[in-house]
Amino acid sequence: MKVNFGGFVSISTVDWRGKAVCTVFFRGCPARCYYCHNRELLTGEDLRDIDFVYGLIEASSLVVSGVIFSGGEPTMQPEALMVLLKRAKSIGLQTGVHTNGIQPETLRALIEERCIDHVSLDLKTTWDRYNNLMKGSYCNDVKISLNLLRDAYNEGHLPELEAVITSIRGFECEIEEIVAQVTGIPVVIQQGVLPGEIPLSNDELRNVAKKLNIPVRIRSREEGEYGIEGDRCDRTTGKRERGVLTNSRK
């Protein structure tokens, strides 16, 4: 079996919060988000034997506790992904996937096989803008993925789930609506970095987060990842209590 391979990081401390993991990048993604930061992985072919990729993971397993599959979009290669996840689990690694959610049946199969411990689901925008942003008809599949991942998480079949929302300057106002789409899932607001544009500062990201009624985590280049308790709004009186920073990993 071959993997259309995009790269490998032998130790990463930023791909799974609180863990040192290795990260495998799969090549290929059919979407075309304008802010994609891995454009060089969207197309092309670099076919490697699956044993080669497993060998990289196995060598890293001496110093990491888990493996993340990212991309590109790893669920576009379902057979190879399933095999590598199972082999990684067989040597005691925890396993995670970063996904855009456009392949719900692959995610369903991975959960049914109990071979993933962690999913980071990218949520791009509000549902009405989804297909336009990704340049394709993906919105319904992402909704299906969101629902099945949430069910698996709530039923204890998926130990960790997070919805990752990339915050781009000029689109901060969308975040409240996107968060409303993902009730019941831990949310991470990630600083979007676009060439030639000034990313939102941490103060701006904190202000966005504090307006939400839920605790969220912020991920930025300058400050790493930290938690924010969102404003609490009393539904009967309408009174707001200001959000607070809960912990920082500066």
- Name the site residues for ligand SF4 (rule: CB under 6 A): 29, 31-33, 36, 38, 42, 71-73, 100
Q: Read off the DSSP letter of residue 128.
A: G
Q: Minimal distance in Å, beta carbon 188 to ligand SF4? A: 15
Considering beta carbons, is residue 37 or 114 the nearer one to ligand SF4? 37
Q: Minimal distance in Å, beta carbon 31 to ligand SF4? A: 4
Considering beta carbons, is residue 73 or 228 the nearer one to ligand SF4? 73
Strand duo 244-247 + 187-191: pairing: unpaired
Q: Minimal distance in Å, beta carbon 248 to ligand SF4? A: 27
Considering beta carbons, is residue 190 or 220 the nearer one to ligand SF4? 190
Q: Minimal distance in Å, beta carbon 91 to ligand SF4? A: 28
Kind and range of the H or E element at 144?
helix 139-154
Q: Minimal distance in Å, beta carbon 29 to ligand SF4? A: 3
Give the integer Cα–Cα distance in Å for 179 and 212: 8
Considering beta carbons, is residue 31 or 82 the nearer one to ligand SF4? 31
Considering beta carbons, is residue 18 or 34 the nearer one to ligand SF4? 34
Give the integer Cα–Cα distance in Å for 149 and 181: 14
Give SS3 for 88: helix
Put residue 135 in one of left, alpha, beta given phi > 0 → left and psi -120 to 50 → alpha.
left
First to last CA, the chain: 42
